[in-house]
Structure 1
Amino acid sequence: MVRSTDVLPPVGLMAGPGAIVPVRASGRARPWRATRRLALSVAGALLMAGCTTVGPDYKGPKSELLKAPAAQGPFASATGMPVEATELPQDWWRLYDDPTLDRLVGEALVANTDLRVAAANLARTEAVVDEARDTYGPELEVEGEAQRRQFSRQSYLREDPIPPLSVGGAGLRVSYQLDLFGQLKRIVEAAEADAEASVALRDAVRVTVVADVVRAYVEACTAGEELAVNRSVVDIQDKSADVLRRLGRAGRIARKDAFLADAQTEESRAALPKFEARRKTALFHLAVLTGRPPADFPSDVATCATPPHLKRPIPVGNGASLLKRRPDVREAERKLAGATARIGVAIGELYPRISLGASMGTLGILKDLGTNATNHWSLGPLISWTMPTEGVRSRIHQADAGAVAALASFDGTVLTALREVEVSLTTYGRDLDRAARFEAARNQALKAQKDAQILYNAGRTPLFDLLNAKRTVAEAEVALSASKAQVADDQVSLFLALGGGWKQTES
């Protein structure tokens, strides 16, 4: 990064009443001796301005971290995982091949309130860019007045009264500021960088909204699936408890065994409202995300009991593609560009402002307006310069520090992006392993149930043993269902960490 102290001007120009004098960099004026000296000073300043633009030129973040092989290459946690090194598609939610989910995402992208706020903020920053670009154009001022006026006698040192007069005037002024030192250019650069950061922020909101919609949809469906599985457990326990009650009444077992079976059934039944509340909460969230009141949730999702499943491994790409795709990384980079441009804006305060101006008009008694006696005009340059003070240089140092902080923030955003992907991949992998163990346990329970059914049909075991085997299968299904729900949530978290596939299409 170029330091601002490397581009500070050695001399400046100071405009005084009716004269322009060269000054030392320290701010102490030299005696004015000759017009030739003045002309040479002005010419030298203009020549210097024509050869440079104040402040450092931004050519991308000078970050060693960004160039590191570990930040550009494959993800460490992707080894041995069911993922692909291909690029993440734009519409990643379509990998689920679920028309209902596609419809909900489309509705959210149109009606979500957070996206509307982001769009309004983007429009505001674009208007700021237009305002900054307008500084390159001429400023036009038109004025006119007419009034009946009584002039003061003392103001004209007269004893006799001055009769009231009808006076008026009209005028036109045009001015154009010459951007000889490039300060206006830096102002526009900073505004454009802010607008591009707002575009990235809008994309980040889109990524978050889409992920929230998918997560709410998955939550509603997994809660419905877990509710159905837990209800089957309650049904089996009810049957087992009924058998034990009959055995207890016949005196074949102790009554406490029947009471314990009833207690277990009620404990399982107590878990059902939890899943119903999870599903309702997800439905309310889904309604709000799509711009509707909570009570107006999608009715077709209210009965969903089959979570969406991916038909292929998740495409994760590598570090290089991630850092190009993540909106927060783009936002941090654009903020760095804006902070760099503001160094030039601050340095520009050390230089004079030169404008070309022209005015014409008429001023006097109403009846004489437009005559040679009241007409006036002017044409010429205006050079204004405020003596540089420590405050100006302090603002330059502030802008320098702001750029250093923006670069550090960019590096932090890069590290956060890489960390989130690695953590999401690790969590996803471990939960996949856990789900595989639960599936293996369920499969073994199914084998035991099959053998118990054969033995019961042959009259070699009682009904209670068969019911116990079925309950074991149902409980294994509960554990497997909860594990699969966690895996589905991990997938959404991984997509979110990968940047959601929302890539900026404009440079």
Structure 2
Amino acid sequence: MPQPSASLPAAILPLALLAGCAAAPSAPPRSTIALPEAPSSADPTPSQWWRLYNEPDLDALVAEALTDNRDLQATKARLLEARAVLREAEGNRLPDTALSAGAGRGSTLQDQIEAASRQSSHVRTGSRFDLGADLTWELDLFGQIDASIQAESADSEAEAALLDAARVAIAAQVVRGWVDACGLSRRMAIAREDEALAARNRQILETLRDAGAVTEGQVAEAAADEARTHTVRPALEARRHEALEALAVLTGRVPSDVPAAAEACTHLPEFASAPPQLDGRALLNRRPDVLAAELRLKASTARIGVAVGDLYPHIAFGAGIVSSAKTPGDLGLRNNMVWRLGPLLSWSFPNVSAARARIAQARARERGELARFDAAILTALQEASAAASALDAAARTRDARRLAAERSDKAAELMRANRAAGGADALEALAAERGALSDRAALAEANLDFAAAQVTLFRALGGGWEGAPDPAAAPLIRSPLLTTPRSPS
């Protein structure tokens, strides 16, 4: 008697090899970017670089943002989703089971057998109860399930890297907001001093006009100059208010609930550490967005293996049993049961054109992910280079502004001494004071620009995500929609 089950694999194997003739790549392609060789930095960039400011209130605000920021919570949710998808893919290695039960009217298997034994066309119809169980276990002979797990694992790791990238961005935004709030407070104080000096200048000229020493036009010009000084502070106040509200939102608060410590800050935080220097490879190792792009490429390569698996037969071990009876108590009778046990095969051969089209799609996606990986590398290198250049320019500008302010202060001091000796009048001394104040305002703006450039550089270097607190899970409170959906017009 022939044994079809024994000859089945021997018949399928040559056809499978003939239909396949394709292999999945064993590893993702390398980047096409040639990284320049450069010595590594002797002093590694600190991970939580904002602690260099030695500002406990700032440290607490960054920690709050890394926990309560809603964008981070959304990114964490995508990571949890990706991990759940990975568990689903891993579950495909296990047997798939299904249970079924039903009740209704109809004929059972025993009814049909009884009608056949009587050679009657009349089959009993009445109450019917069904109970069944199925088990299917796919044998991953061609690695499709493993490839799917590799792809989902890489996607999950990419989402984790994107969470780290979001942490880098949020930490930098908080520090930048803090720097703006503190630096603009100093600029506003200088603007108030300028307003007071302009008012004093006008008052002196009015006194001299009454004595006939100056003209009405000179007084009018002084009044116009005083009015111009009042145009500076509103813009500074608006910038500071925007920075404070941004800090509130970054920490998961409503805009009006601004952090009290930031609102009270009046001095620009500084640290004396030299700007970090990293070679290309060290930089890329610190950039989680580059890692995410590389993992996306790895996932796309694995999905080529998933597509290639469709060229080959899907072979599974199957078992099932079903019982149909007139009453629930008869479901366990052997005569009411049908069972099966053996291999199951599913194959689209000989029409494999759709499978080959999916392989072509997967290979095209891999090329796209490689291009995105290369772009991520180039962007990281460009951002770090531009940030370092901007910091150098800001440092040179700050140094020049500091020198100008020091010389203006010296000139104002000499003018005050000259006036005390009778060699200068009040207007000359006041003009020197306002000149020095103008240079101090320019220095305050240069200091702010330098601090902002420091933040930009540290963000470009990618640090700050190591050891960060886990974003809090937002509570799920079910309620109607906050906004009313628009009705179609």
TM-score range, shorter chain: 0.7 to 0.9
Does 2:384 correspond to 1:417?
Answer: no
- Listed as ranges, the matches of 1:370-449 within 5 Å are 370-387=332-349, 388-449=351-412
Q: Partner of 1:286 in structure 2? A: 247
CA–CA separation in structure 2 for the residues paired with 1:329 and 1:36: 51
Contact 1:111 1:291 in 2 (8 A): yes
CA–CA separation in structure 1 for the residues paired with 2:465 and 2:67: 16
Amino acid in the other structure paired with 2:11: S
Q: Partner of 1:102 in structure 2? A: 59
Partner SS for 2:25: coil
CA–CA separation in structure 2 for the residues paired with 1:35 and 1:286: 70
What TM-score comes out, normalization by structure 1 length?
0.84
CA–CA separation in structure 2 for the residues paired with 1:281 and 1:495: 23
Q: Partner of 2:24 in structure 1? A: 55
Amino acid in the other structure paired with 1:56: P
- Where structure 2 has 5 or more consecutive residues not aligned to the other structure, the ranges are 469-489
Structure 1, residues 358-401: CA drift from partner, whole Å, max 9, x if none?
A: 12242233254322311232211112211243222111111111
Partner SS for 2:230: helix
Partner SS for 1:62: coil
Structure-2 change in CA distance of 1:255 and 1:74 (3 Å) = farther
Q: Partner of 1:171 in structure 2? A: 132
Contact 1:364 1:374 in 2 (8 A): yes
What TM-score comes out, normalization by structure 2 length?
0.87
Q: Partner of 2:477 in structure 1? A: none
- Where structure 1 has 5 or more consecutive residues not aligned to the other structure, the ranges are 1-18, 21-33, 76-83
Structure 1, residues 265-286: CA drift from partner, whole Å, max 9, x if none?
A: 1101111111111111111111
Structure-2 change in CA distance of 1:37 and 1:308 (3 Å) = same
Amino acid in the other structure paired with 2:376: T
- Listed as ranges, the matches of 1:68-467 within 5 Å are 68=35, 70=36, 72-73=37-38, 86-149=43-106, 164-366=125-327, 368-387=330-349, 388-467=351-430
Structure-2 change in CA distance of 1:36 and 1:479 (3 Å) = closer
Partner SS for 2:334: coil
Partner SS for 2:278: coil
Contact 2:32 2:374 in 1 (8 A): no
After TM superposition, the structure 1 stretch with the greater mean CA deviation from structure 2, 209-218 or 157-166, is: 157-166
Partner SS for 1:296: coil
Structure-2 change in CA distance of 1:356 and 1:37 (3 Å) = closer
Amino acid in the other structure paired with 1:314: P
Amino acid in the other structure paired with 2:143: G
The count of corresponding residues between Structure 1 and Structure 2 is 458
Q: Partner of 2:462 in structure 1? A: 499
Partner SS for 2:422: coil
Partner SS for 1:350: coil
Deviation at 1:54, TM superposition (A): 4.9
Deviation at 1:163, TM superposition (A): 5.4
CA–CA separation in structure 2 for the residues paired with 1:138 and 1:45: 27
Contact 1:211 1:500 in 2 (8 A): no
Structure 1, residues 184-239: CA drift from partner, whole Å, max 9, x if none?
A: 00000111111111111111111111111111111111111100011111212221
Deviation at 1:431, TM superposition (A): 1.5
Deviation at 1:291, TM superposition (A): 0.7
Amino acid in the other structure paired with 1:40: A
Q: Determine what percentage of the aligned residue pairs are the same residue.
A: 35
Deviation at 1:423, TM superposition (A): 0.7
After superposition, the CA RMSD in angstroms is 2.9
Contact 2:22 2:308 in 1 (8 A): no
Deviation at 1:404, TM superposition (A): 1.2
Contact 2:415 2:424 in 1 (8 A): yes
Contact 1:122 1:199 in 2 (8 A): yes
Amino acid in the other structure paired with 1:125: A
Contact 1:181 1:348 in 2 (8 A): yes
Partner SS for 2:101: strand
CA–CA separation in structure 2 for the residues paired with 1:134 and 1:109: 33
After TM superposition, the structure 1 stretch with the greater mean CA deviation from structure 2, 354-363 or 263-272, is: 354-363
Structure-2 change in CA distance of 1:173 and 1:296 (3 Å) = same
Partner SS for 2:271: coil
CA–CA separation in structure 2 for the residues paired with 1:38 and 1:196: 41
Amino acid in the other structure paired with 1:335: R
Contact 2:48 2:466 in 1 (8 A): no
